[in-house]
Amino acid sequence: MEEIKGIKTLEKEGYYEQCCFIQCNFNSADLSGVRFVNCRFEGCDFSLAKLKNSSLQEVKFVNCKLLGVQFSDCRKFMLELDFDSCILKLSLFSGLKLKNTRFRNCDMQETDFRAAFNYSINPETNRLGKAKFSIPGVTGLLDTYGIIIE
């Protein structure tokens, strides 16, 4: 995997496969149309980055700051994301199928998953104050307890 460190700009409409971006600053960067396949971002700042028509296939974010990122602007085809120890605030995921998306040890505030379903959140290990859930979606809070709702 090729390592790329500290850059802010990428080739417009570029293609990056099996790259590891380390401590890169993409703050307010326009990544529209860029394709990332099997890439890893470590310690990067994506605050207010634009992802219109970007392709994120098998992309992992580790210890990244993602403030105000509209993932819903990405291409939906083969979208696969993984977040580990990231800060996601004011980010938007509405309208996306996130079946294989994982969020581990992430700080998520004011993040929009409107119309999400089939999720599981452990209320004992996550702070959920003032969180909003739809009636069918709230059942994902009960998975931990093995409660069956008919």
Ranges of each domain in the chain: 2-114, 117-150
For 143, list phi and psi in degrees, rounded to 5: -55, -40
**Distance between CA atoms of 78 and 27, rounded to whole angstroms?**
25
pTM above 0.85, yes or no: no
Q: What is the pLDDT of residues 100-131, one digit of tens each?
A: 788 898 888 888 786 666 667 777 777 777 77
Quote the percentage of the chain above a pLDDT of 70.
87
Q: Which two structure tokens, joined as six digits, stand for 55? A: 């392709």
CA–CA gap between residue 41 and residue 46 (Å, rounded): 10
Q: Average pLDDT of 129-142?
A: 74
pLDDT top residue among 26 and 94: 26
Long-range pairs of 49-53 with CB within 8 A, sequence gap ≥ 24: none
- Judged by DSSP in three states, 141 sits in helix
**What is the model's pLDDT at position 80?**
92
Residue 100: the pLDDT is: 79
CATH of domain 2-114: 2.160.20.80
